[in-house]
Amino acid sequence: MFRPGDLDRDNDVDVFDVDLLAAEWLSGECGLLNDWCGGADQTAGGGVDFNDYAVTSSHWLSGVRPAAPVRVTATGGDAGISLDWADNSEADLACYNVYRSLSPGRDYYKLTRPGVTDSQFVDTGVTNCVAYHYVVTAIDEFGYESGYSEGVLASAGVQPVMRLLAGIGVQTVGSGVSNWQDQVGGNHAKQGTAADRPAVSGPAIHGQPAIDFSGDGKHLDVADSKDINTGGPYSGKTLVVVFKTGGDVAGRQVIWEQGGGVRGLNLYIDGGNLYVNGWNLGEAEVQWGPTGLSRPVSADTPYVATLVLDAGEGTFEAFINGVHAGLAGGVSKLYGHSNDCAFGHVEGATRFHDGSTAGPADFGGEIAEFHQYNRVLSSGDRQNLETALMLKYGMRRRR
């Protein structure tokens, strides 16, 4: 359906439409056989007169697309994800469409068939712990649709305390990443020194963007936070990272580390293996670790690695691409551990499986996503998240 007044069918009403109206002005022989004088007889009155001019003038300079919705929010709950946005002001607004994707900026799927008339929507067809990206559009009575709103990210079920995706919230200065924004809180990964900034690499892993650390001192720091490291004691932790190894997997390379030599967690490559590691060695606390759970990894290969600390069960576990990769017993709580946190190198000190604590252990690969929870995810939720990430980044289970 074309908007009234759009005689030349170019999706707006302007001087060219007035020219067509003038060419048929006062014609009295309009009907079905001549398409009502080329559409100029918009009232189908049999002639072109001031009634038709009124139609054109009332839609003067009107475009065909309503404005994109604004102030879109998404909130995860136990039963789904609730979206809300401001009402559009167009008088001819008909409805809204909601789109969802696992990859910000691409591969959107329309959820609303037909569109919704209220400026809110609840997506119940979601999987717990999986992060979904949403955009909203507005549609007018003539079927014309706006552009996408600004996107929002949310997940249902248990909420993380930190979530980073290379496809969203990455700020650069020149080619270097200065700020990788946490999508659930203030635990941003930053780098203030130009020479130490990693680069955005996209498409990097199965067409998805990632942060390229290049193995030459590039890293991002995360300040101390009660959510991440200085609170506690923590009875449960679940960390999930999507990364791709570089060409060298022999040298020691830190993907993520939090804490110092006394308490902390880390994931790193060493001697061709991925290590999933934790330790708590405070004198007045139950001591455990370093756990040093490890499995071989290949060069230039993407992985999903998961660390699970469960003080209630006394266990520390590792999973690689959804497959169990090791378990350590005798584990207790992880107490507060300062000294900042970092992607791509050792920030101050950490502790490795052999007891050493020194860095820098620069990472030579790429990191695409990082999720941290202050609890043990259920096996179902953990597997759902791992499976979604493996599909997104084109991986398979490796035993």
How confident is the model over 148-204, as pLDDT tens digits?
999 999 999 999 999 999 999 999 999 999 999 999 999 999 999 999 999 998 889
Do 335 and 354 sit in the same domain of this protein? yes
| 387 part of a folded domain | yes
How confident is the model over 100-138, as pLDDT tens digits?
999 988 889 999 988 999 999 999 999 999 999 999 999
Closest C-alpha among 288, 225, 215, 294 to residue 255: 215
| Res 141 pLDDT > 80 | yes
Do 198 and 253 sit in the same domain of this protein? yes
Domain residues for the domain of 357 are: 162-392
Do 241 and 357 sit in the same domain of this protein? yes
Last residue of a domain, one of 14, 45, 63: 63
CB 368 within 8 A of CB 244: yes
Do 81 and 202 sit in the same domain of this protein? no
Do 169 and 129 sit in the same domain of this protein? no
Pair type for strands 302-310 and 236-244 = antiparallel
- Within 10 angstroms of residue 358's Cβ, the number of other Cβ atoms is 12
Q: State the pLDDT at residue 390.
A: 97
Task: Give me the percent of the chain exceeding a pLDDT of 90.
Answer: 81
Number of structural domains found in the chain? 3
Q: State the pLDDT at residue 294.
A: 97
Do 234 and 331 sit in the same domain of this protein? yes
Q: Treating both helix axes as pointing N-terminal to C-terminal, what angle do 50-58 and 15-23 enclose, rounded to 10 degrees?
A: 170
Q: State the pLDDT at residue 92.
A: 84
Do 53 and 121 sit in the same domain of this protein? no
Mean pLDDT for the stretch of residues 351-362? 93
Task: Give me the percent of the chain exceeding a pLDDT of 70.
Answer: 98
Q: State the pLDDT at residue 6.
A: 86
| Res 396 pLDDT > 90 | no
Do 353 and 376 sit in the same domain of this protein? yes
| 399 part of a folded domain | no
How confident is the model over 49-77, as pLDDT tens digits?
999 999 988 877 666 678 899 999 999 99
- For residue 259, the cross-strand partners are 264
- Rg of the Cα atoms in the chain: 28
Do 183 and 45 sit in the same domain of this protein? no
| CATH for 135 | 2.60.40.10
Q: State the pLDDT at residue 143.
A: 83
Last residue of a domain, one of 128, 154, 180: 154
Question: How many whole angstroms from its chain centre is CA 386?
Answer: 15
Do 292 and 372 sit in the same domain of this protein? yes
Do 266 and 354 sit in the same domain of this protein? yes
- pTM for the whole structure: 0.84
CB 167 within 8 A of CB 204: no
Better pLDDT: 292 or 5: 292
CB 15 within 8 A of CB 61: no
Do 41 and 78 sit in the same domain of this protein? no
| Res 1 pLDDT > 70 | no
| 17 part of a folded domain | yes
| 211 part of a folded domain | yes
| 121 part of a folded domain | yes
| 397 part of a folded domain | no
| CATH for 197 | 2.60.120.200
| CATH for 10 | 1.10.1330
